[in-house]
Amino acid sequence: MDNQMDLIKSKIEDAEYILVGCGLGFENIGSFAEEEIYKPLSESGINGKAKLLEELQEEEAVSWIHQVLVNYFNKEHTLQAYSDLYELIKDKNYFVLSMNTSELIMQSGLEHSKIVMPCGNEGLFQCSKSCTHDIYQNRDYVLNFVEQLPDIMESVKSGKSIKEYLPYCKECGETLTFNLRADVESYVEEGYLAQWQNYMQWLSRTLNRKLLLIELEVDFTLPSLIRWPFEKNAYLNNKACLIRVNHEFPQLAEEISGKGISVSMTADEFLKVVNK
């Protein structure tokens, strides 16, 4: 293991460009306790979604309040693994492609201009019916909602609908929802397309340069986003190397076995060790 880590460290030091792919499993590591997310309701004795449902007896209200509380928390926190990733690549020419949708990555120190999130961004709202391709920053709404949450809960308990407190599309009057590929009938891609173009331009400059591709907890969910393109880039670029970090699926395709390093560890374990 020491020899492998020494090799990886030398690859990082030698790389002209570093492309990092964060899979869905990346944010499952070191996740936060639900009671931390529900801290704004701690004085009411509510420390999680189950307790909130018991209090309100209204599933639609509970679902929305939970989503907002999670986003509120994620706007101010990050994972240790993201901080460790920042320490690893901060002095390099890097780009991060993430399949995750939370704002946890935004507090890590990584430059926002070097992050692309094609599966969505919980920091944005879109029309739930996609009547327009407009997207909206939701920070003001989320902060105001949480500030007023005790009063909102009292209103819901007294019979008012949560719909009175939802955000609405100024074009069609339907509700706004979080700009997440998995949660809407029609995903508005404008939330990431401009940044995707920046990513493509950056990637075009890596041809025949020393490119290090680092996969972190990338499985076979939407393999056309990270897993397959990373393998293709490693195969086509004679100076590229792929480091695949995955505690379940670390295997490398035969075509790139001589141009890659397979690491059977969780991403957080790997980042701790390689930063030593």
- Statement to judge: residues 214 and 249 lie in one domain: yes
What is the pTM for the complete model shown? 0.95
Q: Can you give the pLDDT at residue 185? A: 81
- Statement to judge: residues 38 and 134 lie in one domain: yes
CA distances from 248 to 81, 98, 201, 244, 264 (A): 18, 19, 32, 11, 7
> Residue 190 CB: number of other CB atoms within 10 A?
14
- Statement to judge: residues 202 and 256 lie in one domain: yes
- Statement to judge: residues 105 and 53 lie in one domain: no
- Statement to judge: residues 9 and 132 lie in one domain: no
- Statement to judge: residues 91 and 62 lie in one domain: no
3-state secondary structure of 251: coil
23 CB-near residues (< 8 Å, 6+ apart): 99, 215, 216, 217, 218, 219, 221, 226, 246
Q: Collect the ranges in the chain with pLDDT lower than 70.
A: 1, 30
Residue ending a domain, among 138, 161, 187, is 187
- Statement to judge: residues 166 and 65 lie in one domain: yes
Number of domains observed in the structure of the chain? 2
Q: Can you give the pLDDT at residue 30? A: 66
Q: Can you give the pLDDT at residue 2? A: 76
- Statement to judge: residues 66 and 195 lie in one domain: no
Residue ending a domain, among 187, 205, 227, is 187
Tens digits of per-residue pLDDT, 77-119?
999 999 999 999 999 999 999 999 999 999 999 999 999 999 9
- Statement to judge: residues 238 and 197 lie in one domain: yes
Give the separation between CA 176 and CA 188, rounded to whole angstroms.
Answer: 12
- Statement to judge: residues 72 and 147 lie in one domain: yes
- Statement to judge: residues 220 and 94 lie in one domain: yes
Give the domain CATH number at 236: 3.40.50.1220
Residue ending a domain, among 187, 210, 239, is 187
Domain coverage including residue 152: 33-76+121-187
Tens digits of per-residue pLDDT, 253-263?
999 988 999 99
- For 75, list phi and psi in degrees, rounded to 5: -70, -20
- Statement to judge: residues 236 and 158 lie in one domain: no
Strand partners, 124: 137
Q: Can you give the pLDDT at residue 10? A: 97
DSSP 185-237: SS--THHHHHHHHHHHHHHHTTTTS-EEEEEES--SSSTTTTHHHHHHHHHH-
Q: Residue 178, CB half-sphere, CA atoms under 13 Å: how many?
A: 24
Tens digits of per-residue pLDDT, 221-244?
999 999 999 999 999 999 999 999
